[in-house]
Chain A
């Protein structure tokens, strides 16, 4: 086994499997080695639940990936699995504690994201325990497709959250301005008082932090790149065509915009065939990233269809996507979020009136 020439930087506890210790302190890759956590000052409290009645705080900074080493002086080996990293700096622990007492480690930083790929199972369980009691708020608007996305993701993960409707086209609340000072838009997710902005960034965050339910993003790197590609296409190119149908000032502009939406649907139909591999959703058997990205726009597609008397999601031209849209909208994680098309249509009409009155 390679031995690193670099001296150990203590103190560190990494990947503890010893019966003496319960929790792990960080994620590892599939060989059991730890990844550097340079950015993260972790604090772990060690409580002695037995007789000695003390507690010790340890700061972990600058983890370095360790290869298997001999136990250096001043450290104790605490794991019997040779692949796991095993050393604890005794100078930071009461001498007797390691040998004799049981410890329960409590992680103070909840949003560690240790539920990311290759995390230890033990770690996941600990983090899940903590995030299940965590505080989640979503700032959204009933008409915004972007605002539905995090809610769909949270529903898929069975996470409870407090929904705060923002009437943000009229007045922006203080909470919204404080949480999203750059864009001042919905959605914003506030997790244990920390704001996360941008709908697809939020969806990825939800996927990484909450591990119950199926994964939203695929696990394979290439499939992930494809999912992100379509998410970006939907939001950049396709959505601008959709919006342009509502904002168009001339018939010519409207026609071009509608063509843009239709072309997009053709491309997405092709993509669906390739990606779904015969299953119900882009995500396969379960609702995934592209499903959420595209599906959230369906109600507005229906509004544009009604406003213009066109069929954009045509059952004959895009049969797979058509079938998919029915399944998506009736999915339990989705169906209660989607407003009635007629209500949305009325709202669209007021928006259009507002846009044509104001200079663009």
Chain B
């Protein structure tokens, strides 16, 4: 059997690329991560594989490119079925996809609003973000993971964004631990996994990176 060629176009701070790395690691799939310099020039492979968005991650599996992190994780689940990241029953899967969609629409953008705002808007953004955390707390309930007893699809999509929480906390002047202890506990639990810890960027470095982004958009 010929070996699979799996390439991931990556950027160290991208939470979306981290999703793909975690999924591949959970499945035990060997892959080559290629760093893209998103603040500099984008590689030819990136521009060719993802002409519409020109973003990471891109998964190139035996020459075929898959774009969009959530879709990449679904593709990884479909292609390498064990261990399963989604529950076996259709309703459980629909529920997972619903929360995946919520995380996609709200979490990163909600956090970004905090450091992209100035003046009074920051407080508004912070309050909205805390609301989002509360909703996610509700989804987590008494479960260990969003996936139930096992680490799964929604956990993979959400955990990388938590590397940016320190930055949100600094700019928003709040602590996730105080506002949402359940989410805090869930983060700690996920970080015990090798698949998560190995690619998870240092939150202080992410904070520095956010500082850089703020300069770019003229906030500093």
Residues of A within 8 A of B (CB): 26-27, 29, 35-40, 65, 109, 111-116, 182, 191, 194, 196-198, 201-202, 204-205, 208-209, 221-222, 224-225, 228-229, 232-233, 237, 267
Contacts and interface: CB of A to CB of B under 8 A. Distances in A.
B78 interface: yes
Interface of B: 52, 61, 64, 66-68, 70-72, 74-75, 78-79, 81-84, 87-95, 97-98, 101-102, 135, 147-150
Given A39-B88, A112-B90, 17 more contacts: A35-B81, A35-B84, A37-B88, A38-B149, A39-B87, A39-B150, A40-B88, A112-B88, A112-B89, A197-B98, A198-B97, A221-B78, A222-B64, A224-B75, A225-B66, A225-B71, A229-B66
Nearest to B91: A111
B89 A233 contact: no
Contacts of A233: 52
A26 B94 contact: no
A43 B71 CA distance: 33
A230 to B, nearest CB: 10
Contacts, number: 99
A209 B94 CA distance: 11
Contacts of B90: 111-113, 115-116, 205, 208-209
A194 B95 CA distance: 10
A198 B98 contact: yes
B98 A196 contact: yes
Contact of A26 (B52, B71, B88, B148): B88
B88 A116 contact: yes
Contacts of A209: 90
A117 to B, nearest CB: 8
B107 to A, nearest CB: 13
B96 to A, nearest CB: 9
B64 A113 contact: no
B98 A201 contact: yes
Given A202-B94, A267-B52, A27 B78 contact: no
Nearest to A197: B98
Given A202-B94, A224-B75, A29 B81 contact: yes
A208 B96 CA distance: 14
Contact of B74 (A35, A198, A228): A228
A113 B74 contact: no
B91 A194 contact: yes
A26 B87 CA distance: 13
A201 B94 contact: yes
22 contacts: A37-B88, A38-B150, A65-B82, A113-B88, A115-B90, A116-B90, A182-B135, A196-B91, A196-B95, A205-B90, A208-B90, A208-B93, A222-B61, A222-B66, A225-B66, A225-B72, A225-B74, A228-B68, A229-B67, A232-B68, A232-B70, A237-B52
Given A198-B101, A201-B98, A202-B94, A35 B82 contact: yes
Contacts of B148: 38-39
B87 A40 contact: yes
Contacts of A237: 52
Most buried by A among B68, B87, B93, B94: B94
A113 B92 contact: yes
A205 B71 contact: no
B29 to A, nearest CB: 13
A224 B74 CA distance: 9
B149 A39 contact: yes
Contact of B89 (A40, A196, A222, A229): A40
A262 to B, nearest CB: 15
A113 B102 contact: no
Contact of B84 (A36, A191, A222): A36
Given A35-B82, A198-B98, A113 B75 contact: no
A149 to B, nearest CB: 14
A197 B70 CA distance: 18
A197 B96 CA distance: 11
Contacts of A229: 66-68, 71
A40 B89 CA distance: 8
Contact of B101 (A26, A37, A201): A201
Contacts of B71: 225, 228-229, 232
A203 to B, nearest CB: 10
A83 B107 CA distance: 45
A233 B135 CA distance: 26
A116 B72 CA distance: 20
